[in-house]
Amino acid sequence: MVWGTLFGAAWFLWIDYRVRMDFQALKWALPARIYARPVELYAGAHIGDEDLVDYLQRLGYRETSRVDGPGEYQLEQSLVRLRTRGFEFWDGHEPSVYAEVDFSGRHVLSLRGNQAGLDLPLLRLEPVEIAQINPETGEDRLPVSITDVPPELIKAIIAVEDQRFYTHYGVDPIGILRALVANVKEGSIVQGGSTLTQQLIKNLYLTQERTLRRKIEEALMAVALEFHFSKDEILTAYLNEVFLGQDGKRAIHGFALAAEHYFGRPLKELKLDELAMLAGLPRGASYYNPLRNPERAVERRNVVLASMLEQNYITADENAAARKAELQVTSRPVNRGAGYPAFMELVYSNLESDYAADALRTEGLRIFTTLDINMQSVIEAEFEKSVKAVERPSSTEGRLEGAMVITDASTGEVRAMAGSRQSGYTGFNRALHAERQIGSLIKPAVYLAALESPDFNLATVLSDRPIELKLDNGQLWEPHNYDDKMYGDVYLYDALERSMNLATVDLGMQLGVDKVTKMLTRLGHKKSVQPFPSVLLGAVNMTPIEVAQLYQTLASNGFRSPLRAVEAVTTAKGDPLAWYGIETEQVVDPASVYLLEYAMQGVFERGTGKTAVPRLERSMPLAGKTGTTNDMRDSWFAGFGDDLVGVVWLGYDDNRESGLTGATGALRVWTDMMALLDIQPRQTLPPADIMMDTVPLQAVRDPSERNCAVSESLPFQSDRMPDVAYSCEVNDSFFERIIDRFRSQGQ
Amino acid sequence: MMLRVLLLVVVATLGACTSVRPPQEEPAPVEDRSVQPPTVTVLPPPESRPLPPEPPISTPVPEPEPVPPPPRAATPSSTLLASVDNAMAAGQLEQAAALCERALRISPRDGHLWYRLATIRFQQERFNDAAGLARRAMSFAGPDAKLAQDSQRLLQQAESRN
């Protein structure tokens, strides 16, 4: 007997110790949450009303006829009224505000706050959550403190699960009796006898064991828990811990996440009927699942409401109104876990150097990325159609593949990405991993290296004639033009615009191939490239994102900013852990890049890209370059406007002929996408030492043969003007031009 | 693992702490030993600024509304720059930089914003970044001789400290 008592006491002490320790150390493994870049609204912002409404719907905003609370919006012709929810960003708090946004076409015309007539200069919306990195347990939750839980929810839970919660000591004999009576009366289980504390214990020490010993142990644990912790602490743990549904591999725990999962809105915004529905779920999250079993869910909700009425937590009117409310669960598929796999792979690779995989899965980190969700949606919806439209009928298996990378033209932030022609494809990510020959996409690097040297300018005459080069291995290399024609004497800018191979080899051999490979490195290419002459025509393998880095440097006038997909990382509470700000380094002088851009704009105006002009008329001028590799295995286009850089690659995974040139394949896809994204025209201003001069349209080597009757004006660096003998400017002295230059600068 | 994250938190916090000063009632002038104090605190509205202009939008600018106009038209940039001042005054340099970057995403060709970001990086003793940003500011200075001069001076100081 004594031994038995001693044993019982020791057992209880052990249980007491264990519960105390476990509960104190209670810490849930929280998935990392990944956010897209938030939309910023201001007068002039490049966004249309439809884009905004789409964005608000992704955030789970409700359309109403009158905007009262956070997370509501109203659309009236081109005017959107809304109240934001506010958000804890990594760089500060964004409060909840009311705003009226007026649109004109795809721009914000004005932005007003709630005081009449007062313009709101700027408004940052909440970011859309695009993915999660889930713990291995698959458990997901959004921990909340009890002060953030609507009192109606707590009342509903207490009414239906544990009416004597605030008075019992962990177990409730009266409650058990009541439940027994009620269940016998109904002939089925309508009430449970477990207290919330017992349910919490069951959830925390998840076992299937249903023995008497286990029951007693759970009861003792509940008593111990009550002994050491307050009712609020226990209730908070319950509200966050309880299992409320399954979403594929992901287990929905806690009421805050359940609110997002079933209603697409935060807990704070839910109304009585919705809260009552959630309160009914712990009894059987799958049985009462409102998405799958809406009738049962409504029935259960009404039971909860009846209990609340019985306890005088709500009035008869409130009860009646809530019972009438239609069940409105979210119908929009939530893009969690698998959202945007191509972009997410880049996010992982950006993060893996700083964070261990385990930290990403369990610490609830919040990761702010550079993804533009509206832009990405356009790509997801349209890229495949566009690729399909240029695909040549093929007699064999396999289909034309593609990849696209879009970056911000001045900061290097990656805005959108396609790793395959098929959206949401989780396999081989061609944007990051398909290493393909880049062909003529390399030419801007060749011409830029030349324009940097004092020996060359846009009017340097190159020879587009057959050339034979003896390579180091003794072989003879005889490059050809794509169309097998020869153009004879041509200007440097013309050779780039029309992508002449022979003239480019002539230029590259005068310059030295090593200058070109060094230029690739300066522009941001990280792998080393051997300086073989064939490099001049693009016999270099690169992935689309590597190409995007090179063209990003060109788009930002010779300033290289490493491409990146992550902007900042914070803890679950919002404390910043890491910032990845804009880095920028000047790698080429802006004057040389300006001259190169003149020719790259000419690609659209006069060269290989001119077929795109009619569809992008509003966006001109743009700059870019086509690329085609041997036997048309790869079709490339890389180009940029003032806001965006885009790179498109098309080809077959097995490297067979695609039948597409850069112009007939990738350029058309690029044009489709950029027209939809409304790419902005270039506004590059000439650097101070750029001057114009007029030269004959036809390049000649002998000045006496020059024909100034047909001439054109080209920009030059002031210390590298064309020889006066070739110039067609007669009435203007060199010094006058310099004076003019300063005059125009001063204006 | 916990340790690792904890370490990150600690490092990040320490990094922030070293430059944190208690918030002051009035934004204190930005103190800097070697650089001229940033000349741009709150930018005047764009119409009175030389260059570069705000990116043009394809829609016509609306006529002033009949309602009484606000006392001073705040632009996204001026609003953000006012917050930059506050963050700097509170010693929150990283936050100030983040605000500057937000403004740059809206007006990427505004040399004053690039210059402002360069001064913040300089204060953080990130001289390499400061130099790159100062050069970028110079490239957008156009005929704004003052901006060109300030950027040039900052560039030289950053390069000598690098």
User: Which single residue is written with the structure tokens 């000591």?
Assistant: A169
Query: Per residue in A394-420, pLDDT tens?
Result: 766 788 999 999 999 999 999 999 999
How far apart are the C-alpha atoms of A704 and A722, rounded to whole Å?
A: 15
Q: Is the pLDDT of residue A3 over 70?
A: yes
Residue A581 dihedral angles phi and psi, to the nearest 5°: -80, 180
User: Is the torsion defined by CA of A152, A154, A160, A165 positive or negative?
Assistant: negative
Q: Helix axis angle, B127-139 relative to B111-123, nearest 10°?
A: 170
Query: Per residue in A326-380, pLDDT tens?
Result: 887 775 545 444 578 899 999 988 888 888 877 888 888 999 999 999 999 999 9
pLDDT over 90 for what percent of chain A? Answer: 52
How far apart are the C-alpha atoms of A109 and A260, rounded to whole Å?
A: 32
What is the pLDDT at residue A675?
95
Size (chain B), residues: 162
Query: Per residue in A664-687, pLDDT tens?
Result: 999 999 999 999 999 999 998 898
**CB distance A688 to A675 below 8 Å:** no
CB-based contact, B84 to chain A, within 8 Å: no
Q: Is the pLDDT of residue B97 over 80?
A: yes
| Chain-chain contact of B12 with A105 (C-beta, under 8 angstroms) | no
Does A349 qualify as catalytic in the annotation? no
Q: Which of B59, B95, B142 is facing A109, going by the closest CB pair? A: B59
pLDDT grade for A383, boundaries at 50, 70 and 90:
very high
Amino acid (one-letter) located at A34: I
Cα angle B117-B118-B123, degrees, rounded to a multiple of 5: 100
Q: Which of A42, A362, A590 is facing B139, going by the closest CB pair? A: A590
How far apart are the C-alpha atoms of A300 and A140, rounded to whole Å?
A: 24
Mutate to test the interface with B, among A136, A351, A564, A584 (most CBs of B within 10 A): A584
Q: What is the mean pLDDT of residues B42-57?
A: 36
In DSSP notation, A31-92 reads -EEEEPPPPEE-TT-S--HHHHHHHHHHTTPEE-SS--STTEEEEETTEEEEE---EEETTE
CB-based contact, B82 to chain A, within 8 Å: no
Cβ contacts (< 8 Å) between B73 and chain A: which residues? 119
End-to-end CA distance of chain B: 35
ipTM here: 0.82
Q: Which of A44, A119, A582 is facing B101, going by the closest CB pair? A: A582
How far apart are the C-alpha atoms of A451 and A442, rounded to whole Å?
A: 15
Is the backbone peptide bond immediately before A150 cis, with ω within 30 degrees of 0? no
**CB distance A359 to A365 below 8 Å:** yes
How far apart are the C-alpha atoms of A238 and A215, rounded to whole Å?
A: 19
Q: Which of A363, A408, A585 is facing B5, going by the closest CB pair? A: A363
Which tokens go with A329? 């669960």
CB-based contact, A736 to chain B, within 8 Å: no
What is the pLDDT at residue A191?
63
What is the pLDDT at residue A530?
92
**CB distance A387 to A669 below 8 Å:** yes
SS3 A542: strand
How far apart are the C-alpha atoms of A83 and A97, rounded to whole Å?
A: 5
Pairing of strands A32-35, A366-369: parallel
pLDDT grade for B37, boundaries at 50, 70 and 90:
very low
**CB distance B80 to A122 below 8 Å:** yes
| Chain-chain contact of A410 with B16 (C-beta, under 8 angstroms) | no
CB-based contact, B94 to chain A, within 8 Å: yes
How far apart are the C-alpha atoms of A520 and A425, rounded to whole Å?
A: 31
Selecting among A72, A126, A129, A161, the annotated active-site residue is: A161
Q: What is the mean pLDDT of chain B?
A: 68
Query: Per residue in A643-669, pLDDT tens?
Result: 999 999 999 998 888 889 999 999 999
Q: Which of B58, B67, B83 is facing A117, going by the closest CB pair? A: B67
Task: Of A611, A680, A608, give the one whose Cα is nearest residue A646.
Answer: A680
Query: Which residues, including other chains, have CB under 8 Å from residue A344's CB and lie 6 or more apart?
Result: A34, A130, A131
Pairing of strands A634-640, A644-651: antiparallel
End-to-end CA distance of chain A: 105
In DSSP notation, B88-102 reads HHTT-HHHHHHHHHH
Give A 28-87 residues with CB within 8 A of chain B: 40, 42, 44-46
Q: Report in angstroms the alpha-carbon separations of A675 from A41, A103, A379, A682.
A: 22, 20, 12, 15
Q: Is the pLDDT of residue A28 over 90?
A: no
Give A 349-368 residues with CB within 8 A of chain B: 354-356, 358-359, 362-363, 365
What is the pLDDT at residue A139?
79
Task: Of A115, A124, A114, give the one whose Cα is nearest residue A38.
Answer: A124
Q: Which of B62, B104, B132 is facing A586, going by the closest CB pair? A: B132
What is the pLDDT at residue B128?
93
Which tokens go with A49? 């009303």
- Dihedral angle over CA of A168, A170, A176, A182, nearest 10: 70
Task: Of A272, A338, A274, A303, give the one whose Cα is nearest residue A131.
Answer: A338
Mutate to test the interface with A, among B61, B86, B100, B102 (most CBs of A within 10 A): B102
Q: Is the pLDDT of residue B60 over 60?
A: no
What is the pLDDT at residue A141?
82
Residue A131 dihedral angles phi and psi, to the nearest 5°: -165, 170
CB-based contact, A95 to chain B, within 8 Å: no
Q: What is the mean pLDDT of residues B37-62?
A: 36
**CB distance A387 to A379 below 8 Å:** no
Query: Per residue in B104-134, pLDDT tens?
Result: 999 999 999 999 999 999 999 999 999 999 9
SS3 A651: strand
Q: Is the pLDDT of residue A206 over 80?
A: no
Q: Report in angstroms the alpha-carbon separations of A117 from A75, A78, A100, B68, B71.
A: 19, 18, 11, 7, 11
How far apart are the C-alpha atoms of B11 and B98, rounded to whole Å?
A: 19
| Residue of B28 and A300 predicted with greater confidence | A300
Q: HSE, CB side, 13 Å, CA atoms: give it for residue A329.
A: 17
Does A310 qualify as catalytic in the annotation? no
Which tokens go with A530? 């051997």
Phi-psi region of A727 (alpha: psi -120 to 50; beta: other; left: phi over 0): beta
Cβ contacts (< 8 Å) between A409 and chain B: which residues? 108
What is the pLDDT at residue B59?
42
The 10 Å Cβ neighbour count of residue A710 is 9
What is the pLDDT at residue B6?
40
In A274-381, which ranges are E strands?
366-369
CB-based contact, B62 to chain A, within 8 Å: yes
**CB distance A677 to A643 below 8 Å:** no
Q: What is the mean pLDDT of residues A550-563?
A: 96
- Using only C-alpha atoms, chain A has a radius of gyration, in whole angstroms, of 34
Which tokens go with B98? 């983040």
Residue A559 dihedral angles phi and psi, to the nearest 5°: -105, 120
pLDDT grade for B62, boundaries at 50, 70 and 90:
very low
| Residue of A450 and A425 predicted with greater confidence | A450
How far apart are the C-alpha atoms of B62 and B43, rounded to whole Å?
A: 22
Cα angle B117-B120-B124, degrees, rounded to a multiple of 5: 140
How far apart are the C-alpha atoms of B146 and B39, rounded to whole Å?
A: 9
Q: How many CB pairs under 8 A join A and B?
A: 131
CB-based contact, B85 to chain A, within 8 Å: no
SS3 B67: coil
Q: Is the pLDDT of residue A34 over 80?
A: yes
Q: Which of B62, B68, B80 is facing A109, going by the closest CB pair? A: B62
| Residue of A247 and A500 predicted with greater confidence | A500
Mutate to test the interface with A, among B135, B144, B159 (most CBs of A within 10 A): B135
What is the pLDDT at residue A210?
66
Q: B36 to chain A, minimum CA–CA distance in Å?
A: 22
Q: In this structure, what DSSP letter does residue A282 have?
A: G
CB-based contact, B76 to chain A, within 8 Å: yes
Q: What is the mean pLDDT of chain A?
A: 88
Pairing of strands A566-570, A250-253: unpaired
How far apart are the C-alpha atoms of A547 and A670, rounded to whole Å?
A: 14
Amino acid (one-letter) located at A340: Y
Task: Of A33, A34, A39, A45, give the one whose Cα is nearest residue A126.
Answer: A39
pLDDT grade for A734, boundaries at 50, 70 and 90:
low
Counts for chain A of helices (H) and strands (E), in that order: 23, 32
Query: Which residues, including other chains, have CB under 8 Å from residue A551's CB and lie 6 or more apart?
Result: A444, A638, A639, A640, A645, A647
Bridge partner residues of A585 (DSSP):
A560
What is the pLDDT at residue A469?
86
**CB distance A488 to A463 below 8 Å:** yes
Give B 103-162 residues with CB within 8 A of chain A: 104-106, 108-109, 117, 128-129, 132-133, 135-136, 139, 142-143
Q: Is the pLDDT of residue B157 over 80?
A: yes
Query: Per residue in A110-163, pLDDT tens?
Result: 999 876 667 788 999 999 988 888 777 777 888 888 888 999 999 999 998 888
Run of H or E including A597: helix A590-605
How far apart are the C-alpha atoms of A279 and A244, rounded to whole Å?
A: 10
Cβ contacts (< 8 Å) between A30 and chain B: which residues? none
pLDDT over 70 for what percent of chain A? Answer: 94
Task: Of A413, A565, A570, give the one whose Cα is nearest residue A88.
Answer: A570
Q: What is the mean pLDDT of residues A523-528?
A: 95
User: Which single residue is written with the structure tokens 């027994």?
Assistant: A180
pLDDT grade for A738, boundaries at 50, 70 and 90:
low
How far apart are the C-alpha atoms of A157 and A150, rounded to whole Å?
A: 11
pTM of the model: 0.82
In DSSP notation, A91-152 reads TEEE---EEEEEEETTEEEEEE-SSTTPBP--EEPPPPEEEEE--TT-EE-----GGGS-HH
| Chain-chain contact of B74 with A356 (C-beta, under 8 angstroms) | no
What is the pLDDT at residue A176?
78
Query: Per residue in A462-513, pLDDT tens?
Result: 999 998 888 777 888 889 888 888 899 999 999 999 999 999 999 999 999 9
Q: Is the pLDDT of residue A629 over 60?
A: yes
